[in-house]
Amino acid sequence: MIPLGGIGEIGRNMTVFELDGKILVVDCGVLFPEEHQPGVDVILPDFGYLRDRMQDVVGIVLTHGHEDHIGGVPYLLRLREDIPIFGSALTLAFIVSKLKEHRITAQTQVVAEGQRVKIADFDLEFIAVNHSIPDALAVLIRTSAGSVLHTGDFKMDQLPLDGRLTDLRAFSRIGEEGLDLFLCDSTNADVPGFTPLEKDIGPVIENVISRSKGRVVVASFSSHIHRVQQVVDAALANNRKVALVGRSMVKNMQIASELGYLKAEPETFVDLKNAISMPQDQVVYMSTGSQGEPMAVLSRMVNLEHEIEIGQGDTVILASSLIPGNENAVYRVIDGLTKLGANVVHKGNAKVHVSGHAAAGELLYCYNILKPKNVMPVHGEYRHLIANGNLAQQTGVPSERVLITEDGWVVDLVAGKADIVGAVECGLLYVDGKTVGKITEDDLKDRRILAQEGFISIFCVIDAQTGRIASGPEIRARAFAEADHVFDDVKPLIERAMAEAAAEGIRDTYAMQQVIRRTIGTWVAKAHRRRPMIIPVVITY
């Protein structure tokens, strides 16, 4: 087993299982960039380990339809398009829709809880688990080397909105059969007790809408069908229509409605154009953008760049959790909406969202039921993995049988014993526009410097025979607070440094550029305490 993403982070979940030269992939998601990764669209798992072995991949199993578990599939299928994909009906509907945008036709096979499928020498059994999206599945992988249970994302809501419980009877049966390795969701392992019930959110949303006199905007993930259902029910209870806003929200809810996961009459909805012309106390806007994404609906409202104009007396409900790393962006959106006069309701001041992940109390139940021989916490930042491992030890799993890993670490399961035996190269794969994997950390460093420190270019014409400056230096700056005349002080320094280089016989263009870069870099650091990007251009004649 090799995790290629999802260890030490919330996102880009992907684990490969290899047996007798054949590879099974479980999940292939994306991670959304943070502020220190400017220009990046999404971050993928590192496919490097698979790139030369794509013919050995026998299948991709998707546990559920969230972006951090399925968003990377189109990029993986670019390497080989005919890999069979296994998942629940809703999960596959979401991924097929996504693949159409990439002009990829996939081989898919719908599976359901209780079903067993044989892929090469991997014997898979699918188990119902409860999550914040319908149709989530855990997968038990039986092999000649042992058995592995991968939970995907899950919790143990005892009164779920769709009536679909996490199948603890199946967990009990697996425990009695004997489980060699448990890969367990760690996201809420450091949260004591039990995750609150989803059903408690609906009345809160309905109450907020009933007290709102103006327009109401509710923002959530475009895949959170349960939350959208609650908003639809609350809108109907208050004699309001629902307008879906955001391309992914419209697309996903159309899929959910067609498959019967979203239950609402067609007349419940109104398109955005008509909604804007309606009295605003008769409509609820259900939108994306709850994570403060710059181009998403809420951010555009804050910047007054959207058809929906937020004003005094309006209500905005952020009905989702904060993904780690998005805090600053979300708080900026909240501040912007408040400044426009809106009443902003969020998880911090009202019970408008509950997590989709099991808290510590639920995880303890799982460990006691399954009695796994080995445990490998997955899906979480490092503190979550440690907390999950500690829970396993409290239930009797020996500390040496709890494997805290990192992306790329290789875990061998032999005769019921799991050990970390090595590592493969595993980094971050950046998607930037149409390019995949070409952006490096050095590129991102350059972008951060440009954003924070500015840009200075220096142009010189050098006599190839003498090495002395024939024209220049001409200096121009961008995003540098000082006026161009401040560089008058450094020009004599550059001329002196170039004369000394010429006296030493330096004629190589690159070497002369480095002389200029060092000279102006030292000066600007001392004189202005700045470290801008410096681009010297030297032409010889």
User: Is the four-CA dihedral 164, 395, 397, 5 of positive or negative sign?
Assistant: positive
Q: Is 150 annotated as a binding residue?
A: no
Q: What is the DSSP letter of 325?
A: T
Whether residue 442 lies in the annotated active site:
no
Q: Is 432 annotated as a binding residue?
A: yes
Q: Is 489 annotated as a binding residue?
A: no
Whether residue 56 lies in the annotated active site:
no
Query: Please, how many CA atoms are within 13 Å of residue 395, restricted to the half-sphere of its CB?
Result: 23
HEC letters along 271-299: CHHHHHHCCHHHEEEEECCCCCCCCCHHH
User: Radius of gyration (Cα) for the chain, nearest Å?
Assistant: 28
Q: Is 353 annotated as a binding residue?
A: yes
Q: Is 357 annotated as a binding residue?
A: yes
- The Cα–Cα gap between 377 and 389 comes to 6
Burial of 506 by CB count in 10 Å (0-12 exposed, 13-18 middle, 19+ buried)? Answer: middle
Q: Is 226 annotated as a binding residue?
A: no
Q: Is 131 annotated as a binding residue?
A: yes
Torsion from C-alpha of 502, 507, 511, 512, nearest 10 degrees: 50
Answer for the pair 151, 183: CB distance below 8 angstroms, yes or no.
yes
Residue for token digits 């399925």? 70
Q: Is 355 annotated as a binding residue?
A: yes
* Strands 122-128 and 116-119, sheet pairing: antiparallel
Q: Is 306 annotated as a binding residue?
A: no
Q: Is 442 annotated as a binding residue?
A: no
Query: By three-state DSSP, how is residue 18 classified?
Result: strand
Q: Is 68 annotated as a binding residue?
A: yes
- The Cα–Cα gap between 432 and 42 comes to 7
Give the pair of three-digit tokens for residue 158: 């005892």
**Residues 226, 306, 357, 384: which is the catalytic one?**
357
Q: Is 528 annotated as a binding residue?
A: no
All residues at 6 or more sequence positions from 391 whose CB lies less than 8 Å from its CB, including other chains:
189, 360, 363, 364, 367
**Residues 185, 190, 233, 407: which is the catalytic one?**
185
Q: Is 212 annotated as a binding residue?
A: no
Q: Is 424 annotated as a binding residue?
A: no
Length of the chain, please? 541
Residues annotated within the binding site for substrate are 222-224, 353-357
Residues annotated within the binding site are 39, 41, 64, 66, 68-69, 131, 153, 222-224, 353-357, 379, 432
Residues annotated within the binding site for Ca(2+) are 39, 41, 432
Give the active site residues.
Answer: 185, 357
Residues annotated within the binding site for Zn(2+) are 64, 66, 68-69, 131, 153, 379
